């Protein structure tokens, strides 16, 4: 069974800590980007999300949102938690980053 509570580290050195996992699958915690983010001014930021009921789906789908501190940006992560043959848990995610822009004409460059 895969549960998101605890500390996770990505291949790029980012770190996610899920400190509260509710019975309804909701969770909160913090996220800190790794060195690959390329900016020393990015701070640890709060995250909130939800996970499918792990009792119904042993390798649940989850999503979470990070509201970046000191930046007009929000990231959304969507993924699934997998359990390997030796019991190791791995998260696979897809992410989108949205930043604020000044006008609709700049909207094309606001989402990565």
Q: What is the CATH number of the domain that holds 47?
A: 2.40.128.30
| pTM for the whole structure | 0.84
Q: How far is CA 50 from CA 26, 28, 98, in A?
A: 4, 9, 20
Domain-embedded: residue 83: yes
| CA gap 103, 112 in Å, rounded | 17
User: H or E stretch including 51?
Assistant: strand 45-51
pLDDT of residue 57: 83
Contact 34, 42 (CB under 8 A): no
Any idea what DSSP says for residue 102? S
pLDDT digits (tens, 9 = 90+) for 54-94: 788 888 999 999 998 778 889 999 999 999 999 889 999 99
Per the domain annotation, does 1 fall within a domain? no
**CA–CA distance, 49 with 86 (Å, rounded to integer):** 27
Do 13 and 4 meet the contact criterion of CB atoms below 8 Å apart? no
Q: Is the pLDDT of residue 98 over 80?
A: yes
Domains of the chain: total:
1
Owning domain of residue 101:
6-109
- Picking from 99, 5, 10, 11, the residue whose alpha carbon sits closest to that of residue 49 is 5
Coarse DSSP helix, strand, coil percentages of the chain, rounded to the nearest 5 percent: 10, 50, 45
> Does residue 54 lie in a domain region?
yes
13, part of any domain: yes
């Amino acid at each position: 069974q895969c549960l998101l509570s605890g500390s996770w580290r990505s291949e790029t050195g980012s770190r996610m800590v899920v400190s509260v996992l509710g019975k309804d699958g909701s969770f909160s915690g913090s996220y800190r980007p790794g060195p690959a983010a390329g900016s020393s001014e990015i701070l640890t930021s709060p995250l909130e999300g939800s996970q499918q009921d792990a009792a119904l789906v042993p390798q649940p789908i989850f999503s979470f949102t990070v509201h970046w501190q000191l930046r007009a940006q929000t990231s959304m992560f969507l993924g699934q938690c997998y359990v390997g043959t030796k019991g190791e848990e791995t998260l696979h995610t897809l992410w989108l980053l949205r930043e604020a822009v000044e006008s609709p004409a700049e909207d094309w460059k606001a989402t990565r």
